[in-house]
Structure 1
Amino acid sequence: MTRDAQRATGATGATGATGVPKPQAAPQPWAVPNAPGAPQALDLDKLFAARLHAARVRPYLATALFALHTVESRRVPTMAVDRYWRCYVSPVFVDRTPVEELAGVWVHEVSHLLRDHHGRSDRVARERGLTGPGERLRMNIAADCEINDDVFGDGLIRPEGAVDPASLGLPEGELMEDYLRQFRLEPRMGDAAWLDCGSGADGVEREWELGPDGAHGLSEQERDAVRFRVAQGITGRPGNAPEGWRRWAEEAFHPPQPWRELLGAAVRSAVSGSGAGEDYTYGRPSRRSAGVPGAVLPSLRRRPPRVSVVIDTSGSVSDAELGSALLEVAAISRAVGGRRDLISVVPCDAAARIAHPLCRAEGIPLVGGGGTDLRAGFSRALKAGPRPDVVVVLTDGQTPWPATRPPCRTVVGLFPRHRVRSSWNEDDPDYEPDAPPAWARVVDIGS
């Protein structure tokens, strides 16, 4: 975690058999001065005293801290975790690190696991085609930035040289995936090459880890149970947790789903298409003005895209689906860069309601409960000023659709249709609603 730890373990940057840069310890660095040649034993009393201190100053993380199983290892530079909730600990590092600093390392390592950095790293690697040890090191650094911007203070000492957003010139409060887009490995970051928080941070197994068949690992169900209990503790007393942890706890009950990624990708594709978010301005004249003497022609500029979300609030949509719709609104906000001021929400059953600007999703009144005619929602969204670049519709599909293509791109998120068909129209048991029109990009939510 720190440069002091690197010096304490005699680490030098090298690449191991796993392809991940890792430190090389000096010969016998754990030898005790008064017992030449004897390996230094792990000071469990000191290590567990640090964990107890961490639990006292971060009580909402206590369940996770005590769920970790400690494994003594002389092959790790400081402390590291695998995805099965084992914590590998260097005896030398424990011996030479103050208890208060050790407590911070405990919190840092367990944060990687709670925030599922290993699973998220695997997904990012697949989606962006990131391969090789350098990219995994970047993921470890980006994950550290997500954690370290608010982990220290209030009883936890900040180690010298800890990687955080400020040290890389990046804004605080963002996620690992966001930080990955904002920096590349550079010579000035050479001191970070020894960082190795284990597969629990970047998803790549190390040769010194016990693996899925090793002892004392937690099952997937046990890991989820720990996360759930920690999230409960945070939401129960939110004033005691930093904003990053409160945000994590809110989303822990609704883990990322494939359809949410598809929906976000569909929205990003729509807002980046030709014509979306484009406008003319005289503030920067067109270069073609030179060919028309005496005339000033406007140039085309890119402006932030505006998104209007129409939510089906008819009686055929359940309360659970409405709750899911609000989560999708939050996902849409992230897909367009987090600019909530550019997103409006229109609740609609047979009639469209007021278009609400997005401040916090939970503050939007989803009024409705009658029949369904989302044509009114389209009309309300398109009459808003300024007009949206993209309309996103969240519905179960039991609605008439506009006869003509709207003058902007459209994305439709369809809730699953679990109801008996006769409940769609009691007068016609064979009735089946029309599928979304061909001009809409359709994403099945929940499949």
Structure 2
Amino acid sequence: MNADQDPRRDVPAALDLDKLFAARLHAARVRPYLATALFALHTVESRWVPTMAVDRHWRCYVSPAFVERTPVEELAGVWVHEVSHLLRDHHGRSDRVARERGLTGPGERLRMNIAADCEINDDVFGEGLTRPEGAVEPKTLRLPPGQLMEDYLRQFRLGPGMQDLAWLDCGSGADGLDREWDLGPDGAHGLSAQEQDAVRFRVAQGISARPGHAPQGWLRWAEEAFHPPQPWRELLGAAVRSAASGTGAGEDYTYGRPSRRSASVPGVVLPSLRRRPPRVSVVIDTSGSVSDAELGSALLEVAAIARAVGGRRDLVTVVPCDAAAQFVHPLCRGEGIPLLGGGGTDLRTGFAKALRAPLRPDVVVVLTDGQTPWPVTRPPCRTVVGLFPRQHRRRTWNENDPDYVPDAPPAWARVVDIGSAPAAR
């Protein structure tokens, strides 16, 4: 039997663990803040995956043929890429986006995988980490850099020009869709939810300890990872859902899907009613009594609000306000939100500015320390008030008047203390 007749000729070699682990070690050396996560992954040899893939339980499935043909430097980049999906919770975020936007099927999950890759690959390579062949970057799709998966997902569709990406499969850890080759929650060597959180916390610690050594995307991730969960976010989600279900709120007409009533009016095309995520306007108290730390916390809450409306940053506006509100800032702009102020407080002007915007909000969220007069009449939309914590709240007020005690938020607003556990009032 000659070599051409050898039946073993097309059988892939066994997984080269020495080469694979050498690449992981190289990745840990050039990205030391990711070392804890890289070594937390358990490798599984698999001929089902085209390159490398991860599941939501922190297992890494590796193709022996891919390892055999790929240089160590590129393998190191793939290691970092795959663990980035897990650290950034792309599987959980994809599940949420799918529920909120009604996205179903493998094609939509492939779009989520591509969008997640754009978020990661935007700034992950270079400085000792080689870009793997075929890695999808925002510029590959002619998209702007520096955005999140949810942003990219709205900006492209699968089409004839994207056949080259049909092979892409980073596993359920990237898009939330279980695969036949996944070992699942009962398989060996998976990490529990608590163990995954511990890994993320250690990585965030490493990034925060040496912020000059991490790209901007990782710094943003670490800041949010360290920010403790706020109970008021659940309240906001409930207010958003309530606003979306209210009559006339979050509804618009479209000719993209004609109304069924058109059949009763021959020759006339009637638009159908569609439901959209509600518009949210965030009024941030920038008066002198609010600290820089609280303003920073407010910006993190704004990011959480954008996620609460399905990642639609174009539906969120920010109104900085002390004694006056000067402008309404669209969150979809690339530049930072200028939190101007420092004087006294009158958030009534913030309410008025938000409600006079060309697109009136369905929900107004107010982030304040409470030292403000409130509107006399109820706004024509849902209102949520997040109060920054103050010790001995009713004994230490002082706005140039020792006898000053501010009014409590009105009864028509849903109120919660930010950063503490008390239930909403």
**Structure 2 match to 1:111:** 84
From the CA coordinates, give the structure whose radius of gyration is larger.
1
Q: Which residue of 2 aligns with 1:79?
A: 52
CA distance in 2, matches of 1:169, 1:416: 41
**1:309 maps to which residue?**
283
Give the CA deviation at 1:402: 2.2
1:229-262 deviation line (CA, Å, top 9, x unaligned): 1111111111111111111111112377544556
- C-alpha change, 1:171 and 1:53, in structure 2 (3 Å) is same
Q: Where do residues 276-425 of structure 1 align in structure 2 (5 Å cutoff)?
A: 309-311=283-285, 324-331=297-304, 343-346=318-321, 352=323, 376-379=346-349, 382=352, 392-394=365-367, 401-405=374-378, 411-414=383-386
- Find the residue that maps to 1:197 and give its secondary structure: coil
Q: How does 1:249-268 map to 2 (within 5 A)?
A: 249-254=222-227, 257-259=233-235, 261=237
Secondary structure of residue in 1 paired with 2:205: helix
Q: 3-state DSSP class of the match of 1:194?
A: coil
2:61 and 2:408 map into 1 onto residues whose CA distance is 57
Aligned to 1:137: 110
Secondary structure of the 1:50 match is helix
Gaps (5+ residues) in structure 2? 251-278, 330-334, 397-406
Report the 3-state secondary structure (helix = DSSP H, G, I; strand = E; otherwise coil) of the residue aligned with 1:212.
Answer: coil
CA distance in 2, matches of 1:156, 1:344: 41
Could you tell me which residue of structure 1 aligns to residue 170 of structure 2?
Answer: 197
Q: CA deviation at 1:152?
A: 1.4
Which residue pairs with 2:257 in the alignment? none
**Match for residue 120 of structure 1 among 62, 76, 93:** 93
Aligned to 1:181: 154
- Unpaired segments of 5 or more residues in structure 1? 1-30, 275-304, 369-373, 425-431
Distance in 2 between the 1:96 and 1:203 partners? Answer: 28
Per the alignment, do residues 262 and 416 of structure 1 end up closer, same or farther by CA in structure 2, a change over 3 Å counting? farther
Q: Evaluate the alpha carbon distance shift between residue 263 and residue 102 of structure 1 in structure 2; reply closer, same or farther with a 3 A threshold.
A: farther
Q: Which amino acid aligns with 2:319?
A: S
- Cα deviation, residue 160, structure 1: 2.9
Give yes or no for contact 2:285–2:369 (8 Å, CA) kept in 1: no
Contact 1:69 1:87 in 2 (8 A): yes
1:128/1:325 CA distance change after superposition, 3 Å: same
Cα distance per residue 1:295-345 (max 9 Å; x no partner): xxxxxxxxxx99561449899x99998775443244457879768x97332
Answer yes or no: is the 8 Å Cα contact 2:12–2:64 preserved in 1.
no
| CA 265–73 in structure 1, closer or farther in 2 if over 3 Å, else same | same
CA contact (8 A) 2:280 2:365 kept: no
Does the aligned pair in 2 maintain the 1:397–1:435 contact within 8 Å? Answer: no
Residue by residue, what CA displacement relative to the aligned partner does 1:123-156 show, whole Å, maximum 9, x if unpaired?
A: 0000001001111111111111111111111112
Q: Is it true that 1:61 corresponds to 2:34 in the alignment?
A: yes
For these two proteins, the number of residue pairs brought into alignment is 365
333 and 345 in structure 1: CA distance in 2 versus 1, 3 angstrom threshold: farther
Corresponding letter in the other structure for 1:139: M
Corresponding residue to 1:153 among 126, 130, 133: 126
Q: 1:343 to 1:39 in 2, by over 3 A?
A: closer
Question: Residues 52 and 155 of structure 1: is their aligned pair in 2 closer, same or farther, counting only changes over 3 Å?
Answer: same
Does the 8 A contact of 1:355 with 1:381 survive in 2?
no
Whether the aligned pair in 2 keeps the contact of 1:260 and 1:328 (CA below 8 Å) is: no
| Distance in 1 (alpha carbons) for counterparts of 2:57 and 2:338 | 34
Are 2:44 and 1:100 equivalent residues in the alignment? no
Task: Quote the Cα distance in structure 2 between the aligned partners of 1:263 and 1:56.
Answer: 46
- CA displacement at 1:204 relative to structure 2: 1.1
| 8 A contact 1:311–1:325 mirrored in 2 | no
8 Å CA contact retained: 2:116, 2:149: yes
From the superposition, tell whether residues 85 and 343 of structure 1 become closer, same or farther in structure 2 (CA, over 3 Å).
same
Query: Partner amino acid for 1:155?
Result: G
Q: Residue 172 of structure 1: which of 139, 145, 148 is its match?
A: 145
Structure 2 residue matching 1:70: 3-state secondary structure: strand
Alpha-carbon distance in structure 2 between the residues aligned to 1:103 and 1:126: 34
Report how far residue 381 of structure 1 moved.
5.8
Q: Against the structure 1 CA distance between its residues 230 and 264, is the aligned structure 2 distance closer, same or farther, given a 3 Å change threshold?
A: farther
Q: C-alpha deviations, 1:84-109, integer Å up to 9, x for none?
A: 10001111111110000000000000
Preserved CA contact (<8 Å) 1:346 1:381: no
Conservation of the 8 A alpha-carbon contact between 1:313 and 1:322 = no
Q: For 1:393, what is the secondary structure of its paired residue?
A: strand
| TM-score, reference length from structure 2 | 0.69
For residue 274 of structure 2, what is the aligned residue in structure 1?
Answer: none
- In structure 2, what is the equivalent of residue 5 of structure 1? none
